[in-house]
Amino acid sequence: MDTHDELLAKIRSKSVLVGIIGLGYVGLPLARAFAERGIAVLGFDVDEAKVAALRRGESYIGHISPAVVGRMREEGFDATADFERLDEPDAILICVPTPLTETREPDLTYVVNSTRAIAERPRPGRLVVLESTTYPGTTREVVLPILAAGGLRPGLDFFLAYSPEREDPGNPVYSAPTIPKVVGGLDPASLELASALYENIVVGVVPVSSPEVAEACKILENTYRSVNIALVNELKLLYDRMGVDVWEVIEAAKTKPFGFQAFYPGPGLGGHCIPIDPFYLSWAARKYGMTTRFIELAGEINTAMPAHVVSKVADALNDRGKPVKGSRITLLGMAYKKDVDDPRESPGFELMERLLHKGAIVEYNDPHIPELPSMRRYPEIRMSSRELTDEYLRSLDCALVVTDHSAYDWQRIVDHAPLVVDTRNALRNVKPGKATIVRA
């Protein structure tokens, strides 16, 4: 039996040991999916605190409870910060961040380091799958040469594929097992093995002809969202000047049963994917002598939204005879989206930085994020969530709605805060209260 057939037999019998590098919002739910199907998982992470928490049966992700982690442990899940153990798994899935540099170029440091760690512990007959979002060509041009440098032959001694993550944190309907998985193999043998592996845990596998197609698929999905969000953000600015309610316009438009999908404006893009992925494609396009004008324009519009919101806050305070400097402003919500505890790329950080720069006294409340973590771009912003007592709300000059968490009692906020600037249409159903309400 050759290495391909041996690994395929392990996958189909569920005796395969899966290694997952990166136990964040993508890697940990993926580990859960495998564990719940009776497949042993060894998770790797450089953050020893995360590893220790998982080994204690604790969770650091809101939608994965400690009880779930406990069940995963019972089903054979283990976590480690010891990358020497990378020689143990039969299949390794790379789920690490792919941020942008300060000049908005792809930063593949985590992907490269993970691949090198695998290559330093060669093992014939192993499958490696990259899941991190990246530009078309990364698997073949970056990952493959590192794995092959030691003399192992792709498609014979090791197998390589790309399968983009499609995790949507906090989504009550779709999770890793219920979302179809796109898979692109470097060769037919790699495609067969990767497809068979994911067939154990997902509702359906969508095989494509190459890793490049799978990589481009992920970029398309998020660029589609970025461009459409930019459209409604620009319309928000226009309709605001016209005195037209953009939210009511969208609600009316979405009654059309075909040809329209509703997207909503906001204070800026957040999350690891939509603010970043389109710039990966723009960077790749420049390598081919092209400029992606549509994508870059969308990026310009979306990244300008925090400045627009701060301007609206300044105007609203000015109307009340107050300068931004010295005003007490609290941001409601620091997660990048509703009802999650994920602050990655949240526009709240830029809003906070801009307001602090203008001399405001800025605090925040988020029922899902009791302490702000250290962020790569905002390492100096560290504080704790303030309790929204009636007295505290009355003491503010402005409450700024950044994230419309379901836990917020919007009526109580409007009844006590003197001014609320709403970037999410969160106050659409509240009765008039003490607060002056301004939409931004």
Active site residues: 273
Angle, alpha carbons 287-292-297 (nearest 5°): 140
Residue the block writes with tokens 């037999």? 9
Instruction: Please state, in angstroms and rounded to a whole number, the distance separating the CA atoms of residues 205 and 121.
Output: 29
- Going by the DSSP 8-state scheme, the letter that residue 139 receives in this structure is I
- 41 Cβ partners below 8 Å, 6+ apart? 17, 18, 19, 20, 31, 34, 35, 72, 76, 77, 78
Nearest CA among 369, 355, 430, 425 for reference residue 397 = 355
- Dmax over Cα atoms in the chain, in whole Å? 81
Strand partners of residue 161 = 129, 185
Instruction: Please state, in angstroms and rounded to a whole number, the distance separating the CA atoms of residues 413 and 390.
Output: 8
Residues, the chain:
440
- Going by the DSSP 8-state scheme, the letter that residue 83 receives in this structure is G
Q: For the purposes of burial, counting CB atoms within 10 Å of the CB of 414, is it exposed (0-12), middle (13-18) or buried (19 or more)? A: buried
Sign of CA dihedral 236, 240, 246, 249: negative
Instruction: Please state, in angstroms and rounded to a whole number, the distance separating the CA atoms of residues 140 and 185.
Output: 10
262: phi > 0 → left, psi -120 to 50 → alpha, else beta; which? beta
Runs of H (alpha helix) within 75-143: 109-119, 138
Q: For the purposes of burial, counting CB atoms within 10 Å of the CB of 156, is it exposed (0-12), middle (13-18) or buried (19 or more)? A: middle
Strand order in the sheet with 41-44: 77-80, 41-44, 18-21, 91-94, 126-130, 158-162, 181-185, 205-208
Structure tokens at 259: 């040809």
Sequential DSSP letters for 98-113: --B-TTS-B--HHHHH
Whether the Cβ atoms of residue 31 and residue 72 lie closer than 8 Å to each other? yes
Strand partners of residue 79 = 43
Nearest CA among 423, 238, 234 for reference residue 312 = 423
Instruction: Specify the amino acid at residue 420.
Output: V
Structure tokens at 93: 């899935």
